[in-house]
Amino acid sequence: MSEKLQKVLARAGHGSRREIESMIEQGRVSVDGKIATLGDRVDAVSSMKIRVDGRVVSITASDEAVCRVLAYYKPEGELCTRRDPDGRPTVFDRLPKLNGSRWIAVGRLDINTSGLLLFTTDGELANRLMHPSREVEREYAVRVFGQVDDEKLRLLTKGVTLEDGTGAFRTLSFQGGEGLNQWYNVTLTEGRNREVRRLWEAVGVQVSRLIRTRYGAIPLPKGLPRGGWTELPLAEINYLRELVEMPPETVTRVPVEKERRRMKANQIRRAVKRHSTVTPTRRGGQSSKRNSGS
Protein backbone atom coordinates (compact mmCIF):
# COMPACT_ATOMS: atom_id res chain seq x y z
CA MET A 1 0.00 0.00 0.00
CA SER A 2 1.24 3.48 -0.79
CA GLU A 3 2.12 5.97 1.92
CA LYS A 4 2.96 9.64 1.94
CA LEU A 5 6.59 10.22 1.00
CA GLN A 6 7.35 12.27 4.11
CA LYS A 7 6.00 9.48 6.33
CA VAL A 8 8.21 6.86 4.67
CA LEU A 9 11.32 9.02 5.03
CA ALA A 10 10.51 10.04 8.61
CA ARG A 11 10.00 6.43 9.66
CA ALA A 12 13.38 5.54 8.14
CA GLY A 13 15.06 8.17 10.32
CA HIS A 14 15.79 10.91 7.79
CA GLY A 15 14.11 13.66 9.80
CA SER A 16 10.78 14.64 11.26
CA ARG A 17 7.79 14.92 8.94
CA ARG A 18 8.01 18.68 9.24
CA GLU A 19 11.69 18.70 8.22
CA ILE A 20 11.07 16.38 5.29
CA GLU A 21 8.04 18.38 4.09
CA SER A 22 10.32 21.43 4.01
CA MET A 23 12.93 19.48 1.98
CA ILE A 24 10.24 18.41 -0.50
CA GLU A 25 8.97 21.98 -0.88
CA GLN A 26 12.56 23.09 -1.60
CA GLY A 27 12.90 20.53 -4.38
CA ARG A 28 15.58 18.55 -2.55
CA VAL A 29 13.84 15.15 -2.78
CA SER A 30 13.40 12.98 -5.87
CA VAL A 31 11.75 9.60 -6.48
CA ASP A 32 13.17 7.48 -9.31
CA GLY A 33 14.71 10.57 -10.88
CA LYS A 34 11.60 12.79 -10.65
CA ILE A 35 11.49 15.79 -8.30
CA ALA A 36 8.95 15.07 -5.57
CA THR A 37 6.09 17.35 -4.63
CA LEU A 38 4.21 17.63 -1.36
CA GLY A 39 1.43 15.05 -1.25
CA ASP A 40 3.25 12.40 -3.31
CA ARG A 41 2.60 8.83 -2.23
CA VAL A 42 5.02 5.96 -2.74
CA ASP A 43 5.21 2.20 -2.36
CA ALA A 44 8.25 1.58 -0.17
CA VAL A 45 9.94 -1.18 -2.20
CA SER A 46 13.65 -1.90 -2.34
CA SER A 47 13.89 -1.17 -6.07
CA MET A 48 12.73 2.44 -5.56
CA LYS A 49 15.45 5.11 -5.58
CA ILE A 50 14.67 8.02 -3.28
CA ARG A 51 17.29 10.75 -3.21
CA VAL A 52 17.76 13.66 -0.82
CA ASP A 53 20.11 16.35 -2.15
CA GLY A 54 21.12 13.91 -4.89
CA ARG A 55 22.12 11.11 -2.48
CA VAL A 56 20.23 7.81 -2.43
CA VAL A 57 18.74 7.20 1.03
CA SER A 58 17.62 4.02 2.73
CA ILE A 59 13.88 3.38 3.15
CA THR A 60 14.17 0.35 5.44
CA ALA A 61 10.78 -1.22 6.06
CA SER A 62 9.30 -0.37 9.46
CA ASP A 63 9.24 -4.00 10.63
CA GLU A 64 13.04 -4.16 10.19
CA ALA A 65 13.85 -0.89 11.93
CA VAL A 66 14.34 -0.79 15.68
CA CYS A 67 13.06 2.27 17.53
CA ARG A 68 15.81 3.54 19.83
CA VAL A 69 15.65 6.46 22.28
CA LEU A 70 18.50 8.19 24.11
CA ALA A 71 18.28 10.41 27.19
CA TYR A 72 21.00 13.06 26.96
CA TYR A 73 22.09 15.58 29.59
CA LYS A 74 22.61 18.72 27.51
CA PRO A 75 25.10 21.19 29.00
CA GLU A 76 24.82 24.95 28.59
CA GLY A 77 26.75 26.18 25.55
CA GLU A 78 25.67 23.49 23.09
CA LEU A 79 23.45 24.22 20.10
CA CYS A 80 20.47 22.07 19.08
CA THR A 81 21.58 21.84 15.46
CA ARG A 82 23.49 19.25 13.47
CA ARG A 83 26.19 21.62 12.28
CA ASP A 84 27.23 25.12 13.23
CA PRO A 85 29.06 27.26 10.62
CA ASP A 86 31.10 28.86 13.42
CA GLY A 87 32.28 25.49 14.72
CA ARG A 88 30.51 25.74 18.07
CA PRO A 89 29.65 22.44 19.84
CA THR A 90 26.28 20.86 19.11
CA VAL A 91 24.19 18.29 20.95
CA PHE A 92 24.92 15.74 18.20
CA ASP A 93 28.70 15.77 18.76
CA ARG A 94 28.63 13.37 21.70
CA LEU A 95 26.04 10.86 20.51
CA PRO A 96 26.95 7.31 19.44
CA LYS A 97 27.42 6.80 15.70
CA LEU A 98 24.76 4.96 13.69
CA ASN A 99 24.86 3.03 10.42
CA GLY A 100 21.94 3.52 8.05
CA SER A 101 20.01 5.80 10.39
CA ARG A 102 20.45 8.96 12.43
CA TRP A 103 19.47 10.50 15.75
CA ILE A 104 16.58 12.96 15.70
CA ALA A 105 16.16 15.43 18.56
CA VAL A 106 12.75 15.48 20.24
CA GLY A 107 12.35 19.26 20.49
CA ARG A 108 15.05 21.74 21.36
CA LEU A 109 16.70 23.51 24.28
CA ASP A 110 18.27 26.92 23.77
CA ILE A 111 22.02 27.39 24.09
CA ASN A 112 21.83 28.62 27.71
CA THR A 113 19.49 25.84 28.89
CA SER A 114 20.71 22.49 30.18
CA GLY A 115 19.00 19.24 31.11
CA LEU A 116 17.09 16.36 29.56
CA LEU A 117 16.95 16.11 25.78
CA LEU A 118 15.58 12.99 24.10
CA PHE A 119 16.84 11.60 20.79
CA THR A 120 15.26 8.82 18.72
CA THR A 121 15.88 6.96 15.47
CA ASP A 122 12.13 7.00 14.74
CA GLY A 123 11.18 10.19 12.92
CA GLU A 124 7.46 9.52 13.31
CA LEU A 125 7.81 9.17 17.08
CA ALA A 126 9.80 12.42 17.28
CA ASN A 127 7.27 14.27 15.16
CA ARG A 128 4.27 13.13 17.23
CA LEU A 129 5.96 13.89 20.57
CA MET A 130 6.76 17.43 19.38
CA HIS A 131 3.28 18.16 18.03
CA PRO A 132 1.44 20.72 20.24
CA SER A 133 -1.77 18.66 20.16
CA ARG A 134 -0.11 15.92 22.25
CA GLU A 135 0.49 18.29 25.19
CA VAL A 136 3.40 16.27 26.58
CA GLU A 137 4.36 17.78 29.94
CA ARG A 138 7.88 19.18 30.42
CA GLU A 139 9.27 20.04 33.85
CA TYR A 140 12.02 22.59 34.54
CA ALA A 141 14.03 23.73 37.53
CA VAL A 142 14.38 27.51 37.30
CA ARG A 143 16.67 29.86 39.22
CA VAL A 144 15.35 33.43 39.12
CA PHE A 145 16.44 36.88 40.22
CA GLY A 146 13.90 39.58 40.99
CA GLN A 147 10.95 40.42 43.18
CA VAL A 148 8.47 37.52 43.12
CA ASP A 149 5.13 38.14 44.83
CA ASP A 150 1.76 36.39 44.93
CA GLU A 151 0.34 38.47 42.07
CA LYS A 152 3.20 37.52 39.73
CA LEU A 153 2.80 33.87 40.64
CA ARG A 154 -0.94 34.11 39.94
CA LEU A 155 -0.31 35.65 36.51
CA LEU A 156 2.23 32.99 35.61
CA THR A 157 -0.30 30.21 36.18
CA LYS A 158 -3.40 32.02 34.87
CA GLY A 159 -1.92 33.52 31.71
CA VAL A 160 0.60 36.11 30.54
CA THR A 161 0.47 37.85 27.17
CA LEU A 162 3.50 37.12 24.98
CA GLU A 163 4.25 38.24 21.42
CA ASP A 164 3.07 34.86 20.06
CA GLY A 165 -0.03 34.52 22.23
CA THR A 166 -0.97 33.86 25.83
CA GLY A 167 1.19 31.48 27.85
CA ALA A 168 1.06 30.02 31.34
CA PHE A 169 2.71 27.38 33.49
CA ARG A 170 0.59 24.33 34.23
CA THR A 171 2.17 24.12 37.70
CA LEU A 172 4.58 26.34 39.62
CA SER A 173 6.12 25.63 43.03
CA PHE A 174 8.76 27.36 45.15
CA GLN A 175 11.74 25.14 45.95
CA GLY A 176 13.75 27.44 48.24
CA GLY A 177 16.39 30.17 48.25
CA GLU A 178 16.29 33.95 48.32
CA GLY A 179 17.73 36.99 46.55
CA LEU A 180 19.85 35.84 43.60
CA ASN A 181 19.24 32.19 44.34
CA GLN A 182 15.47 31.54 44.27
CA TRP A 183 14.51 28.19 42.76
CA TYR A 184 11.13 27.17 41.32
CA ASN A 185 9.83 24.06 39.58
CA VAL A 186 7.52 24.75 36.62
CA THR A 187 5.74 22.59 34.05
CA LEU A 188 4.54 23.30 30.52
CA THR A 189 2.72 21.25 27.90
CA GLU A 190 4.04 23.02 24.81
CA GLY A 191 7.47 23.79 23.42
CA ARG A 192 7.37 27.37 22.19
CA ASN A 193 10.74 29.06 21.73
CA ARG A 194 12.25 30.23 25.06
CA GLU A 195 8.78 30.15 26.64
CA VAL A 196 9.92 29.54 30.24
CA ARG A 197 12.30 32.49 30.13
CA ARG A 198 9.80 34.75 28.34
CA LEU A 199 7.04 34.05 30.84
CA TRP A 200 9.22 35.07 33.79
CA GLU A 201 10.54 38.12 31.90
CA ALA A 202 6.95 39.20 31.17
CA VAL A 203 6.39 39.71 34.92
CA GLY A 204 9.74 41.47 35.41
CA VAL A 205 11.78 38.52 36.71
CA GLN A 206 15.07 37.36 35.19
CA VAL A 207 15.96 33.68 34.71
CA SER A 208 19.60 32.98 35.56
CA ARG A 209 19.55 29.17 35.31
CA LEU A 210 17.21 26.78 33.53
CA ILE A 211 17.35 22.97 33.64
CA ARG A 212 14.85 20.58 32.05
CA THR A 213 14.33 17.76 34.55
CA ARG A 214 11.54 15.71 32.98
CA TYR A 215 9.87 15.00 29.62
CA GLY A 216 6.50 13.31 30.08
CA ALA A 217 7.19 10.67 32.74
CA ILE A 218 10.84 10.30 31.69
CA PRO A 219 13.09 12.02 34.28
CA LEU A 220 16.65 13.22 33.81
CA PRO A 221 18.49 10.00 34.82
CA LYS A 222 20.14 10.15 38.24
CA GLY A 223 23.90 10.07 38.08
CA LEU A 224 24.07 11.04 34.42
CA PRO A 225 26.81 13.70 34.02
CA ARG A 226 26.47 16.71 31.76
CA GLY A 227 27.33 15.61 28.26
CA GLY A 228 26.48 11.99 29.08
CA TRP A 229 23.78 9.85 27.47
CA THR A 230 22.03 6.60 28.22
CA GLU A 231 19.74 4.48 26.05
CA LEU A 232 16.21 3.97 27.32
CA PRO A 233 14.93 0.42 27.91
CA LEU A 234 11.99 -1.04 26.03
CA ALA A 235 9.42 -0.20 28.73
CA GLU A 236 10.22 3.53 28.59
CA ILE A 237 10.30 3.54 24.78
CA ASN A 238 6.86 1.94 24.71
CA TYR A 239 5.60 4.46 27.27
CA LEU A 240 6.54 7.24 24.80
CA ARG A 241 5.00 5.35 21.88
CA GLU A 242 1.75 4.75 23.77
CA LEU A 243 1.68 8.43 24.73
CA VAL A 244 1.35 9.37 21.03
CA GLU A 245 -0.79 6.39 19.95
CA MET A 246 1.91 4.37 18.20
CA PRO A 247 2.13 0.56 18.35
CA PRO A 248 4.55 -0.89 20.90
CA GLU A 249 8.08 -1.86 19.94
CA THR A 250 9.03 -5.48 20.53
CA VAL A 251 12.80 -5.35 19.95
CA THR A 252 15.45 -3.43 21.87
CA ARG A 253 19.17 -2.77 21.42
CA VAL A 254 19.59 -2.28 25.16
CA PRO A 255 21.33 -5.21 26.92
CA VAL A 256 19.47 -7.23 29.54
CA GLU A 257 19.40 -5.54 32.95
CA LYS A 258 22.37 -7.35 34.50
CA GLU A 259 24.67 -6.54 31.60
CA ARG A 260 23.19 -3.05 31.25
CA ARG A 261 24.13 -2.12 34.82
CA ARG A 262 27.69 -3.30 34.19
CA MET A 263 27.99 -1.37 30.93
CA LYS A 264 26.26 1.88 31.90
CA ALA A 265 29.06 3.58 33.85
CA ASN A 266 31.66 2.77 31.18
CA GLN A 267 29.30 3.95 28.45
CA ILE A 268 28.80 7.32 30.10
CA ARG A 269 32.50 7.78 30.75
CA ARG A 270 33.36 6.98 27.12
CA ALA A 271 30.84 9.53 25.84
CA VAL A 272 32.20 12.30 28.03
CA LYS A 273 35.85 11.40 27.42
CA ARG A 274 35.37 11.26 23.65
CA HIS A 275 33.80 14.70 23.59
CA SER A 276 36.37 16.23 25.95
CA THR A 277 39.10 15.55 23.39
CA VAL A 278 37.14 17.44 20.71
CA THR A 279 35.41 20.29 22.52
CA PRO A 280 38.43 22.44 23.54
CA THR A 281 39.48 22.84 19.89
CA ARG A 282 35.97 23.64 18.77
CA ARG A 283 35.59 26.26 21.47
CA GLY A 284 38.84 27.95 20.68
CA GLY A 285 40.77 26.46 23.59
CA GLN A 286 38.17 26.95 26.29
CA SER A 287 37.76 24.24 28.90
CA SER A 288 35.04 21.65 28.25
CA LYS A 289 34.29 21.38 31.95
CA ARG A 290 30.91 22.12 33.45
CA ASN A 291 29.48 25.57 32.75
CA SER A 292 28.44 27.93 35.51
CA GLY A 293 24.99 28.30 33.86
CA SER A 294 24.48 31.86 35.07
The set of catalytic residues is: 110
Question: If DSSP codes are grouped into helix, strand and coil, which group holds residue 55?
Answer: strand
Half-sphere exposure in the Cβ direction for 186 (13 Å, CA) = 24
Per residue in 226-264, is it b (16+ CB within 10 Å) or e — as a string? bbbbbbbebebbbebbebbebeebeebebeeeeeeeeeb
Least Cα distance to 240 among 115, 113, 104 occurs for: 104
Alpha carbons 202 and 31: distance in angstroms, whole number = 48
Question: If DSSP codes are grouped into helix, strand and coil, which group holds residue 214?
Answer: strand
